[in-house]
Amino acid sequence: MQININLFTVNKRFPLTISRGTTAQTTNVWVRISQDGIEGWGEASPFGVGNHRQSTDTIKDALEQVVPLLEVFSPLQRQEIEQVLTQNQVPSAARAALDMAMHDWLGKRVGLPLWQIWGLDRNQIVPTSVTIGINSPEGAKARARDWLQFTDVRLFKVKLGSPDGIDADKKMLLAVREEAPEPELFVDANGGWSLEDAIAMCNWLANLGIKYVEQPLPRGQEKSLAKLKEHSPLPIFIDESCFTSSDIPHLANYVDGINIKLMKSGGLTEAMRMVHTARAYRLQVMFGCYSDSSLANTAALQLAPLADYLDLDSHLNLVNDPFTGALLIKEGRVLPNDLPGLGVEQSASIT
Protein backbone atom coordinates (compact mmCIF):
# COMPACT_ATOMS: atom_id res chain seq x y z
CA MET A 1 0.00 0.00 0.00
CA GLN A 2 1.07 3.60 -0.57
CA ILE A 3 1.06 6.03 2.39
CA ASN A 4 1.01 9.84 2.07
CA ILE A 5 1.45 12.34 4.89
CA ASN A 6 0.31 15.98 4.85
CA LEU A 7 0.03 18.68 7.49
CA PHE A 8 -2.93 21.02 7.94
CA THR A 9 -3.58 23.80 10.46
CA VAL A 10 -6.93 24.38 12.15
CA ASN A 11 -7.97 27.48 14.07
CA LYS A 12 -10.46 27.57 16.92
CA ARG A 13 -13.37 29.97 16.79
CA PHE A 14 -12.85 30.43 20.52
CA PRO A 15 -9.48 29.56 22.15
CA LEU A 16 -9.79 26.84 24.79
CA THR A 17 -8.15 27.21 28.20
CA ILE A 18 -7.71 24.24 30.53
CA SER A 19 -5.56 23.75 33.62
CA ARG A 20 -2.47 23.07 31.45
CA GLY A 21 -2.74 26.09 29.14
CA THR A 22 -4.58 27.68 26.21
CA THR A 23 -4.92 26.42 22.63
CA ALA A 24 -6.07 28.57 19.71
CA GLN A 25 -4.46 26.77 16.77
CA THR A 26 -2.99 23.33 16.05
CA THR A 27 -1.27 21.70 13.11
CA ASN A 28 -2.58 18.19 12.58
CA VAL A 29 -1.43 15.33 10.36
CA TRP A 30 -3.51 13.88 7.52
CA VAL A 31 -2.60 10.30 6.57
CA ARG A 32 -3.82 8.72 3.33
CA ILE A 33 -3.30 5.08 2.43
CA SER A 34 -3.97 3.81 -1.09
CA GLN A 35 -4.37 0.36 -2.61
CA ASP A 36 -6.47 -1.11 -5.40
CA GLY A 37 -7.74 2.34 -6.34
CA ILE A 38 -9.20 2.94 -2.86
CA GLU A 39 -7.94 5.64 -0.49
CA GLY A 40 -8.42 5.58 3.28
CA TRP A 41 -7.97 8.63 5.50
CA GLY A 42 -6.81 9.17 9.07
CA GLU A 43 -5.85 12.08 11.30
CA ALA A 44 -3.38 12.65 14.12
CA SER A 45 -3.57 15.70 16.37
CA PRO A 46 -0.88 16.73 18.87
CA PHE A 47 -1.51 16.62 22.61
CA GLY A 48 0.42 16.79 25.85
CA VAL A 49 -0.16 14.93 29.11
CA GLY A 50 2.73 15.02 31.59
CA ASN A 51 5.66 13.19 30.01
CA HIS A 52 3.42 11.87 27.24
CA ARG A 53 3.74 14.83 24.87
CA GLN A 54 3.23 14.23 21.18
CA SER A 55 3.96 17.27 19.04
CA THR A 56 3.16 17.63 15.37
CA ASP A 57 6.83 17.13 14.53
CA THR A 58 7.07 14.04 16.73
CA ILE A 59 4.05 12.49 15.02
CA LYS A 60 5.18 13.40 11.51
CA ASP A 61 8.73 12.14 12.06
CA ALA A 62 7.50 8.84 13.50
CA LEU A 63 5.20 8.28 10.55
CA GLU A 64 7.91 9.07 8.01
CA GLN A 65 10.27 6.61 9.68
CA VAL A 66 7.79 3.74 9.77
CA VAL A 67 6.21 4.20 6.32
CA PRO A 68 8.93 2.18 4.50
CA LEU A 69 8.22 -0.75 6.84
CA LEU A 70 4.49 -0.63 6.17
CA GLU A 71 4.34 -0.30 2.40
CA VAL A 72 4.80 -4.06 1.95
CA PHE A 73 1.49 -4.70 3.73
CA SER A 74 -2.14 -4.49 2.67
CA PRO A 75 -4.61 -2.39 4.71
CA LEU A 76 -6.27 -5.70 5.53
CA GLN A 77 -3.21 -6.81 7.54
CA ARG A 78 -3.98 -4.72 10.60
CA GLN A 79 -2.72 -7.28 13.13
CA GLU A 80 0.69 -7.53 11.48
CA ILE A 81 0.87 -3.76 11.07
CA GLU A 82 0.02 -3.28 14.74
CA GLN A 83 2.97 -5.51 15.67
CA VAL A 84 5.33 -3.40 13.55
CA LEU A 85 4.05 -0.19 15.15
CA THR A 86 4.52 -1.64 18.63
CA GLN A 87 8.01 -2.93 17.91
CA ASN A 88 9.04 0.50 16.61
CA GLN A 89 7.42 2.39 19.53
CA VAL A 90 5.35 4.56 17.22
CA PRO A 91 3.50 7.21 19.30
CA SER A 92 -0.20 6.68 19.84
CA ALA A 93 -1.45 9.64 17.76
CA ALA A 94 0.52 8.43 14.74
CA ARG A 95 -0.87 4.93 15.26
CA ALA A 96 -4.37 6.39 15.50
CA ALA A 97 -4.06 8.06 12.10
CA LEU A 98 -2.88 4.85 10.45
CA ASP A 99 -5.53 2.74 12.16
CA MET A 100 -8.29 5.17 11.13
CA ALA A 101 -7.06 5.15 7.56
CA MET A 102 -7.05 1.34 7.40
CA HIS A 103 -10.58 1.17 8.78
CA ASP A 104 -11.70 3.84 6.32
CA TRP A 105 -10.14 1.85 3.49
CA LEU A 106 -11.91 -1.32 4.62
CA GLY A 107 -15.31 0.38 4.78
CA LYS A 108 -14.83 1.82 1.30
CA ARG A 109 -13.70 -1.57 0.02
CA VAL A 110 -16.95 -3.23 1.12
CA GLY A 111 -19.13 -0.15 0.56
CA LEU A 112 -20.43 0.20 4.12
CA PRO A 113 -19.99 2.69 7.00
CA LEU A 114 -18.00 1.31 9.91
CA TRP A 115 -20.85 1.61 12.40
CA GLN A 116 -22.87 -0.69 10.15
CA ILE A 117 -20.01 -3.16 9.65
CA TRP A 118 -19.80 -3.45 13.44
CA GLY A 119 -23.55 -3.95 13.71
CA LEU A 120 -24.08 -0.84 15.81
CA ASP A 121 -27.25 1.24 16.07
CA ARG A 122 -26.51 4.93 15.56
CA ASN A 123 -29.90 5.78 17.08
CA GLN A 124 -28.29 4.81 20.40
CA ILE A 125 -25.86 7.74 20.17
CA VAL A 126 -26.33 10.18 23.05
CA PRO A 127 -26.03 14.00 22.77
CA THR A 128 -22.50 15.38 22.82
CA SER A 129 -21.38 17.86 25.44
CA VAL A 130 -19.78 21.13 24.31
CA THR A 131 -16.91 22.67 26.22
CA ILE A 132 -16.48 25.89 28.15
CA GLY A 133 -12.84 26.52 28.99
CA ILE A 134 -11.42 28.18 32.08
CA ASN A 135 -12.39 31.83 32.03
CA SER A 136 -13.63 34.71 34.12
CA PRO A 137 -17.30 34.47 35.20
CA GLU A 138 -18.32 36.98 32.54
CA GLY A 139 -16.16 35.28 29.91
CA ALA A 140 -17.72 31.91 30.76
CA LYS A 141 -21.20 33.41 30.43
CA ALA A 142 -20.31 34.79 27.01
CA ARG A 143 -18.98 31.41 25.88
CA ALA A 144 -22.17 29.70 27.06
CA ARG A 145 -24.23 32.22 25.08
CA ASP A 146 -22.13 31.57 22.00
CA TRP A 147 -22.75 27.83 22.20
CA LEU A 148 -26.46 28.27 22.84
CA GLN A 149 -26.77 30.48 19.75
CA PHE A 150 -24.66 28.17 17.62
CA THR A 151 -26.31 24.81 18.26
CA ASP A 152 -28.96 22.96 20.23
CA VAL A 153 -26.90 22.44 23.38
CA ARG A 154 -28.07 19.85 25.90
CA LEU A 155 -24.83 19.27 27.83
CA PHE A 156 -21.98 21.56 28.88
CA LYS A 157 -18.57 20.30 29.94
CA VAL A 158 -17.05 23.01 32.12
CA LYS A 159 -13.28 23.08 32.49
CA LEU A 160 -12.15 23.78 36.05
CA GLY A 161 -8.80 23.53 37.81
CA SER A 162 -8.10 27.24 37.52
CA PRO A 163 -4.59 28.36 38.56
CA ASP A 164 -6.44 30.93 40.71
CA GLY A 165 -7.83 28.15 42.90
CA ILE A 166 -11.16 26.53 43.66
CA ASP A 167 -12.86 29.80 44.62
CA ALA A 168 -12.35 30.95 41.03
CA ASP A 169 -13.69 27.58 39.85
CA LYS A 170 -16.83 28.02 41.91
CA LYS A 171 -17.53 31.52 40.64
CA MET A 172 -17.08 30.45 37.05
CA LEU A 173 -19.34 27.42 37.36
CA LEU A 174 -22.08 29.42 39.04
CA ALA A 175 -21.86 31.96 36.23
CA VAL A 176 -22.36 29.23 33.63
CA ARG A 177 -25.33 27.83 35.53
CA GLU A 178 -26.86 31.33 35.76
CA GLU A 179 -26.46 31.91 32.04
CA ALA A 180 -27.58 28.41 31.01
CA PRO A 181 -29.96 26.98 33.62
CA GLU A 182 -31.31 24.15 31.45
CA PRO A 183 -28.36 22.18 29.99
CA GLU A 184 -26.84 19.51 32.23
CA LEU A 185 -23.31 20.20 33.44
CA PHE A 186 -20.25 17.98 33.64
CA VAL A 187 -16.95 19.13 35.15
CA ASP A 188 -13.41 18.39 33.95
CA ALA A 189 -10.51 19.55 36.12
CA ASN A 190 -7.80 18.15 33.79
CA GLY A 191 -5.78 17.17 36.85
CA GLY A 192 -5.83 20.69 38.23
CA TRP A 193 -6.83 19.91 41.84
CA SER A 194 -5.05 18.61 44.89
CA LEU A 195 -6.69 15.73 46.73
CA GLU A 196 -7.99 18.10 49.42
CA ASP A 197 -9.47 20.48 46.86
CA ALA A 198 -10.92 17.60 44.85
CA ILE A 199 -12.79 16.24 47.88
CA ALA A 200 -14.12 19.70 48.70
CA MET A 201 -15.16 20.41 45.12
CA CYS A 202 -16.83 17.03 44.56
CA ASN A 203 -19.02 17.60 47.60
CA TRP A 204 -19.79 21.19 46.59
CA LEU A 205 -20.57 20.19 43.00
CA ALA A 206 -22.88 17.39 44.08
CA ASN A 207 -25.22 19.96 45.61
CA LEU A 208 -25.49 21.65 42.21
CA GLY A 209 -26.60 18.53 40.37
CA ILE A 210 -23.38 18.04 38.41
CA LYS A 211 -23.38 14.68 36.57
CA TYR A 212 -19.76 13.63 37.14
CA VAL A 213 -16.22 14.93 37.64
CA GLU A 214 -13.50 14.09 35.14
CA GLN A 215 -9.78 13.78 35.94
CA PRO A 216 -9.87 15.60 39.29
CA LEU A 217 -6.27 14.66 40.17
CA PRO A 218 -3.08 14.97 38.09
CA ARG A 219 -1.75 11.99 36.18
CA GLY A 220 0.73 10.28 38.49
CA GLN A 221 -1.46 10.61 41.57
CA GLU A 222 -3.69 7.63 40.81
CA LYS A 223 -3.06 6.13 44.26
CA SER A 224 -5.06 9.01 45.76
CA LEU A 225 -8.14 8.12 43.72
CA ALA A 226 -9.15 5.51 46.31
CA LYS A 227 -9.44 8.15 49.04
CA LEU A 228 -11.21 10.56 46.71
CA LYS A 229 -13.75 7.93 45.70
CA GLU A 230 -14.39 7.19 49.37
CA HIS A 231 -15.28 10.83 50.03
CA SER A 232 -16.89 11.85 46.72
CA PRO A 233 -20.66 11.67 46.23
CA LEU A 234 -20.11 12.16 42.47
CA PRO A 235 -18.98 9.61 39.85
CA ILE A 236 -15.33 10.00 38.91
CA PHE A 237 -14.11 9.62 35.33
CA ILE A 238 -10.46 9.50 34.29
CA ASP A 239 -8.89 10.80 31.11
CA GLU A 240 -5.18 11.61 31.38
CA SER A 241 -4.72 8.64 33.74
CA CYS A 242 -5.99 6.13 31.17
CA PHE A 243 -4.45 5.71 27.73
CA THR A 244 -5.15 2.08 26.75
CA SER A 245 -7.00 -1.02 27.91
CA SER A 246 -3.99 -2.11 29.98
CA ASP A 247 -4.48 0.91 32.28
CA ILE A 248 -8.06 -0.01 33.18
CA PRO A 249 -7.59 -3.00 35.56
CA HIS A 250 -5.32 -0.99 37.87
CA LEU A 251 -7.86 1.83 38.22
CA ALA A 252 -11.22 0.08 38.00
CA ASN A 253 -11.84 -0.10 41.75
CA TYR A 254 -11.29 3.64 42.22
CA VAL A 255 -13.23 5.21 39.36
CA ASP A 256 -16.64 5.03 37.71
CA GLY A 257 -15.74 5.61 34.09
CA ILE A 258 -13.05 6.30 31.49
CA ASN A 259 -12.62 8.86 28.72
CA ILE A 260 -11.42 7.20 25.52
CA LYS A 261 -9.63 9.40 22.98
CA LEU A 262 -8.34 8.00 19.72
CA MET A 263 -5.08 9.94 20.00
CA LYS A 264 -4.37 8.34 23.39
CA SER A 265 -5.54 4.85 22.53
CA GLY A 266 -3.81 4.59 19.18
CA GLY A 267 -6.95 4.28 17.08
CA LEU A 268 -10.26 2.51 16.69
CA THR A 269 -8.81 -0.98 17.24
CA GLU A 270 -7.60 -0.20 20.75
CA ALA A 271 -10.61 2.00 21.47
CA MET A 272 -12.84 -1.03 20.91
CA ARG A 273 -10.65 -3.05 23.30
CA MET A 274 -11.00 -0.30 25.87
CA VAL A 275 -14.78 -0.34 25.61
CA HIS A 276 -14.95 -4.08 26.20
CA THR A 277 -12.41 -3.96 29.05
CA ALA A 278 -14.27 -1.14 30.75
CA ARG A 279 -17.56 -2.99 30.47
CA ALA A 280 -15.97 -6.10 31.97
CA TYR A 281 -15.16 -3.97 35.03
CA ARG A 282 -18.63 -2.40 34.99
CA LEU A 283 -17.27 1.03 34.18
CA GLN A 284 -19.00 3.67 32.12
CA VAL A 285 -17.49 4.91 28.87
CA MET A 286 -17.19 8.26 27.21
CA PHE A 287 -15.43 9.38 24.03
CA GLY A 288 -13.51 12.64 23.95
CA CYS A 289 -11.22 14.58 21.64
CA TYR A 290 -8.32 17.01 21.45
CA SER A 291 -8.06 19.63 18.69
CA ASP A 292 -9.45 17.14 16.20
CA SER A 293 -11.14 18.02 12.94
CA SER A 294 -14.25 16.34 11.58
CA LEU A 295 -12.03 13.54 10.29
CA ALA A 296 -10.98 12.15 13.68
CA ASN A 297 -14.26 12.99 15.42
CA THR A 298 -16.29 11.23 12.74
CA ALA A 299 -14.03 8.22 13.23
CA ALA A 300 -14.81 8.23 16.96
CA LEU A 301 -18.51 8.54 16.17
CA GLN A 302 -18.40 5.16 14.47
CA LEU A 303 -18.06 3.65 17.97
CA ALA A 304 -20.31 6.18 19.68
CA PRO A 305 -23.32 3.85 20.04
CA LEU A 306 -21.25 2.04 22.70
CA ALA A 307 -20.71 5.16 24.83
CA ASP A 308 -22.60 6.49 27.85
CA TYR A 309 -21.32 10.03 27.28
CA LEU A 310 -19.79 11.92 24.37
CA ASP A 311 -17.54 14.96 24.27
CA LEU A 312 -16.86 15.18 20.53
CA ASP A 313 -17.18 18.90 19.95
CA SER A 314 -13.75 20.13 18.83
CA HIS A 315 -14.72 20.24 15.13
CA LEU A 316 -17.71 22.43 16.01
CA ASN A 317 -15.29 25.08 17.29
CA LEU A 318 -13.15 25.28 14.14
CA VAL A 319 -13.32 28.12 11.63
CA ASN A 320 -11.46 26.21 8.90
CA ASP A 321 -12.25 22.52 9.24
CA PRO A 322 -11.09 21.01 5.92
CA PHE A 323 -13.35 17.95 6.29
CA THR A 324 -17.02 17.14 6.66
CA GLY A 325 -18.50 13.92 7.94
CA ALA A 326 -20.47 14.11 11.16
CA LEU A 327 -24.08 15.18 10.90
CA LEU A 328 -25.22 17.76 13.46
CA ILE A 329 -28.91 17.35 14.12
CA LYS A 330 -31.39 18.52 16.73
CA GLU A 331 -31.27 17.71 20.42
CA GLY A 332 -27.50 18.09 20.59
CA ARG A 333 -26.71 14.83 18.82
CA VAL A 334 -23.87 14.38 16.33
CA LEU A 335 -24.19 11.30 14.13
CA PRO A 336 -22.08 9.51 11.51
CA ASN A 337 -23.54 9.48 8.02
CA ASP A 338 -24.35 6.64 5.59
CA LEU A 339 -21.24 6.96 3.41
CA PRO A 340 -18.78 4.03 3.35
CA GLY A 341 -15.84 3.85 5.72
CA LEU A 342 -15.60 6.88 7.98
CA GLY A 343 -17.94 8.82 5.71
CA VAL A 344 -15.59 11.82 5.60
CA GLU A 345 -15.18 14.12 2.61
CA GLN A 346 -12.80 17.00 1.95
CA SER A 347 -14.46 20.40 2.08
CA ALA A 348 -11.42 22.65 1.64
CA SER A 349 -7.98 22.35 0.09
CA ILE A 350 -5.01 21.32 2.21
CA THR A 351 -1.63 22.70 1.28
- Tally of domains within the chain: 2
Backbone angles phi, psi at 314, to 5 degrees: -60, -35
Please indicate, yes or no, whether residues 273 and 165 belong to a single structural domain of this protein.
Answer: yes
pLDDT of residue 348: 74
Domain boundary among 59, 84, 111: 111
Residue range 78-95, pLDDT digits in tens: 999 999 999 999 999 999
Residue range 96-149, pLDDT digits in tens: 999 999 999 999 999 999 999 999 999 999 999 999 999 999 999 999 999 998
d(CA 303, CA 297): 10
Please indicate, yes or no, whether residues 106 and 254 belong to a single structural domain of this protein.
Answer: no
Structural element, H or E, at residue 27: strand 21-35
Please indicate, yes or no, whether residues 185 and 270 belong to a single structural domain of this protein.
Answer: yes
Please indicate, yes or no, whether residues 154 and 244 belong to a single structural domain of this protein.
Answer: yes
Domain boundary among 62, 77, 111: 111
Please indicate, yes or no, whether residues 87 and 170 belong to a single structural domain of this protein.
Answer: no
CA count, 13 A, side-chain hemisphere, 152: 8
Residue 14 within a domain: yes
Residue 306 within a domain: yes
Please indicate, yes or no, whether residues 74 and 125 belong to a single structural domain of this protein.
Answer: no
Please indicate, yes or no, whether residues 120 and 107 belong to a single structural domain of this protein.
Answer: no
Please indicate, yes or no, whether residues 95 and 140 belong to a single structural domain of this protein.
Answer: no
Residue 318 within a domain: yes
- pLDDT of 18 over the 80 cut: no
Residue 351 within a domain: no
Radius of gyration from C-alpha coordinates of the chain: 19
d(CA 125, CA 214): 20
In sequence order, what are the beta bridge partners of 43?
A: 30
Domain span including residue 217: 116-346
Residue range 241-269, pLDDT digits in tens: 999 999 999 999 999 999 999 999 999 99
Residue 150 within a domain: yes
Please indicate, yes or no, whether residues 298 and 266 belong to a single structural domain of this protein.
Answer: yes
- pLDDT of 351 over the 80 cut: no
Question: What's the CATH code of the domain at 102?
Answer: 3.30.390.10
Please indicate, yes or no, whether residues 194 and 342 belong to a single structural domain of this protein.
Answer: yes
Question: What's the CATH code of the domain at 330?
Answer: 3.20.20.120
Backbone angles phi, psi at 159, to 5 degrees: -80, 120
- pLDDT of 237 over the 90 cut: yes
Report residue 19's pLDDT band, with 50, 70 and 90 as the boundaries: low
Domain boundary among 111, 136, 153: 111
Please indicate, yes or no, whether residues 280 and 210 belong to a single structural domain of this protein.
Answer: yes
Q: Print burial letters for 24-55: b (CB count within 10 Å at least 16), e (below 16).
A: eebbbbbbbbebeebbbbbbbbbbebeeeebe
- pLDDT of 52 over the 70 cut: yes
Mean of pLDDT over the chain: 94
Please indicate, yes or no, whether residues 219 and 339 belong to a single structural domain of this protein.
Answer: yes
